């Protein structure tokens, strides 16, 4: 082997050093922020990892001709998902006297807090991924704790449903299907997408995360009117300046309290369960109608776990034309596909859809489809004393001869329309009547005599004594 001369060796070392100082090429890994392609780019710029997203001036994007920053050190993602959430906090802290009270409330209920955190285990990684993909502050991953205790089956008196608590009208506005077979307000993927779309839009409207969150709870119209009112009165227009309902007044202090607990659980004597920074579920495509129980069996997961990952399904069958994919625990997705390919059963679905040709009672419908009335009511969730209206889609047993699955039009748009059944009054039954006293001095006794009723009954119906005297214009209840 021919050795290099001293001069040649020095030249070679200088050449290598020069190569090492060049910026990385197009294929090299760098820490340059990737460009976002979400619909909210025009609303606010994508923040850097440690730059607050609330308004502090526009971030200057890297021009195409500028060299990308040099890679200094490899970044190792945290093993713990809570640490990942902490590192993405970017909202300004709320300085409100209501926050300590909410902290104490949560800290006094460590078991409830632990149950909520355990419930979030299935969904939290996906939500954090989506939040970071959009460049949003990771405090938003804590919002379902406040909205629903991370329960996708949560339902409020205002008819809000799911982890993110969408009311029907707002759900429809953000393309969340609500039909006879599924409710996307409870769907993990669809509801998270809709919630983040909505929050991005609200931030774009107000340029302030506290006002955006208040709007999520109270409505953007209400917040906008409160701001306009304060402007007319020369008052401040921040979240703490506005007059708002008590629920909204406590809403953001609750989120701030949860943020403080996650940031430093030891301070509050709280021990958060370890949640690994790893996907919990995987998506699996569905090409044929399949019973929910069979899908869980083929995936080798408990039925309740299957329903927890697919909470939008509220019938015992998955209609492939309307629900093209399901969620399964990460390791069970491949198991499901393997078992499905090897399944030797006659068919995957034992249900189909029947459309009511006219208004009818559940009894009549059950006779038409050859099933018991109790089963028809249970499967289709028909309450007592209700009529089935014409055009309603009902889930019924699938005949052995039927090979075709339910069509997309029905699977995506089928609805169950009910009307209250009119029960005729029995002949001779008393009828409640309200009388208006025409002259001063009418008493319980003479009204009872006039209508041939017991004075004690007239007194009881009107919650007065038998010697009571009515004034002209008083209303008296009798049963005739």
Catalytic residues: 147
Q: How far is residue 71 from each of residues 18, 23, 28, 74, 84, measured CA to CA in Å?
A: 17, 9, 9, 8, 21
Number of other residues whose CB lies within 10 A of the CB of residue 221: 9
Q: 110: burial class by Cβ within 10 Å (0-12, 13-18, 19+)?
A: middle
Q: d(Cα 441, Cα 452) in Å, to the nearest integer?
A: 19
In DSSP terms, which residues pair with 393 in a beta bridge?
A: 355
In DSSP terms, which residues pair with 182 in a beta bridge?
A: 313
DSSP for residue 262: H
Tokens 């005297």, residue? 469
Q: How far is residue 295 from each of residues 39, 237, 252, 403, 463, measured CA to CA in Å?
A: 35, 52, 40, 19, 60
Helix (H) or strand (E) holding 387, with range, is strand 386-388
Positive or negative, the CA dihedral 262, 265, 269, 274 is positive
């Amino acid at each position: 082997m021919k050795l290099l001369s001293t001069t040649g060796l020095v030249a070679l070392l200088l050449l290598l050093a020069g190569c090492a100082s060049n910026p990385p090429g197009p294929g090299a890994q760098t820490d340059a922020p990737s460009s976002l392609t979400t619909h909210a780019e025009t609303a606010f710029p994508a923040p850097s990892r440690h730059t607050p997203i609330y308004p502090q001036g526009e971030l200057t994007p890297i021009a195409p001709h500028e060299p990308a920053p040099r890679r200094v050190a490899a970044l190792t993602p945290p093993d713990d998902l809570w640490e990942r959430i902490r590192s993405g906090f970017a909202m300004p802290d709320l300085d409100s006297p209501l926050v300590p009270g909410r902290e104490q409330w949560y800290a006094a209920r460590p078991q409830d807090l632990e149950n909520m955190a355990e419930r979030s285990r299935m969904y939290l990684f996906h939500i954090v991924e989506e939040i970071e993909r959009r460049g949003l502050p990771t405090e938003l991953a804590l919002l379902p704790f406040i909205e629903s205790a991370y329960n996708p089956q949560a339902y409020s008196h205002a008819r809000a449903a799911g982890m993110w608590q969408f009311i029907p009208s707002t759900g429809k506005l953000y393309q969340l299907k609500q039909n006879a077979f599924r409710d996307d307000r409870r769907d993990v993927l669809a509801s998270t997408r809709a919630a983040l779309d909505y929050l991005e839009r609200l931030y774009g409207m107000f340029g302030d995360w506290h006002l955006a969150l208040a709007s999520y709870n109270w409505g953007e119209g209400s917040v906008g009117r409160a701001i306009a009112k304060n402007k007319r009165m020369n008052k401040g227009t921040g979240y703490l300046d506005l007059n708002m309902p008590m629920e909204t007044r406590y809403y953001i202090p609750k989120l701030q309290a949860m943020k403080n607990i996650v940031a430093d659980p030891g301070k509050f004597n709280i021990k958060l369960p370890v949640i690994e920074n790893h996907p919990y579920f995987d998506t699996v495509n569905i090409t044929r109608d399949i019973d929910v129980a069979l899908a869980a069996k083929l995936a080798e997961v408990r039925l309740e776990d299957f329903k927890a990952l697919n909470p939008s399904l509220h019938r015992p069958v998955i209609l492939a034309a309307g629900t093209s994919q399901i969620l399964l625990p990460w390791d069970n997705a491949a198991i499901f596909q393997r078992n499905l390919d090897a399944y030797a059963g006659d068919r995957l679905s034992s249900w189909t859809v029947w459309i009511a040709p006219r208004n009818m009672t559940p009894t009549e419908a059950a006779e038409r489809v050859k099933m018991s009335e109790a089963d028809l009511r249970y499967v289709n969730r028909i309450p007592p004393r209700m009529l089935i209206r014409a055009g309603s889609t009902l889930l019924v047993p699938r005949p052995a001869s039927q090979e075709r699955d339910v069509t997309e039009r029905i699977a995506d748009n089928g609805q169950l329309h009910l009307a209250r059944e009119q029960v005729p009054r029995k002949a001779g039954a008393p009828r409640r009547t309200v009388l208006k006293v025409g002259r001063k001095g009418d008493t319980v006794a003479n009204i009872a005599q006039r209508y041939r009723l017991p004075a004690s009954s007239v007194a009881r119906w009107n919650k007065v004594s038998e010697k009571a005297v009515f004034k002209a214009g008083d209303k008296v209840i009798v049963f005739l």
